[in-house]
Chains A and B, each alone.
Chain A
């Protein structure tokens, strides 16, 4: 057991390093088990549920049956652990809730299922940090998110895995009328492989979503992302934005797809890739599909290298090559994701600073 509590302490320290203040409200799932959980008392009183997923299935069977495994296939009995977060009607939770998923032993295969429900008119911010204390382990996760009528959910996810870790994740999001879903994903790990699929179903009219993806590949990583948005409700809109930075011999492949079937929908895909070094590879496939005659769908994509003129310009202002490169990378990584509370903004920026300085 002491071993486990040592690992938990190590995990909390590592979480803090990437700005996840679990002690202020959050949970740590280490290997197969939830080992730490904290939620402010007053939030519990106001009806927020924050519990381990099996516990949630037992204690809130009605809610669980209503929401769990509706858009994704799965069986809670085959899951190791996970988080159920439930925000009741009309409640705004200002403080972010930090969830950490940690691989602490070799050969561990961590199977996670998370369920996030925002009832009508509620607001919350969830921050997930996924990282490893050891090499040679696997993280596999399913996540379902429901954003009710007029509700708003911001999810920030930071991946920070070690080189011989494999990750597979599927996330499905449903957004109701006038609902808003914001997603910021950052990968700065050296994971051997990541495969991450996200589906956003905007069933409600006037719903909005924005998903920003900042992916850095180093070493021999092979990273695959697919993001699909279904604009089903009338006047629903979405933006998918990505910055892909491939160093070393890494390869990054992304697909972004918007399917518009509602009336007067709007969708935009913006993808920019930057390769550093000769062995790195990026491929990106944007797809727009309109099933309605009044959808407004656009995409822009570009892949390039650091431009010599930009580098020379910064050098002439006194920055050596290394400094100039990291400044330009930092600029490149900026997506303009603005909906961040100041507490998280600082940690996101420090992660991006580290990312731009790291070598691959």
Chain B
């Protein structure tokens, strides 16, 4: 356990998180222990409201947690400042969202290049890099298109290219196929698997068994706890 804990890309120990709504407190994560090894493709499943998104947001440093320890790439993420969180996000993490979250007035190419802009990469370089990743997801011919000129599957592939461009250790995807039909879902999943084969750790939140079954392992959340692992 301790060796795995150190080799893990992600190691969570007794993570607890509660939401405060008015005077009421809703505990969503009631002590999560889990490790994700480098290069794993992991699915998180669970009924609606079970805390999947909450867990993924904690993993993605988009939200903080109340208690426990989170070690990402060997570094403790406890009590990070906004600024440090932004830096770790841009260094280690890539995000894929259910609703794509592309910037509507930017072309596919510019959307993909955006993370490099925040890393201070010169324009020429980031354009070239973005083009390479667009080709990788099969959208080289769509580089100049705006998001609303793309299909759902294409948008999600652009989002995946954007998640990849900063060369993250981990890609976190919250229901990446939730807005897609089954054929495009399979395409997107195939792409994620391909990326995973290159060594990038991927965590996918999903409702769909067909998606989860393509993963190395499924983490099931129930009532704020991990129900059991299945490899």
A binds B: no
Chain A residues engaging chain B, CB cutoff 8 angstroms: none
Chain B residues engaging chain A, CB cutoff 8 angstroms: none
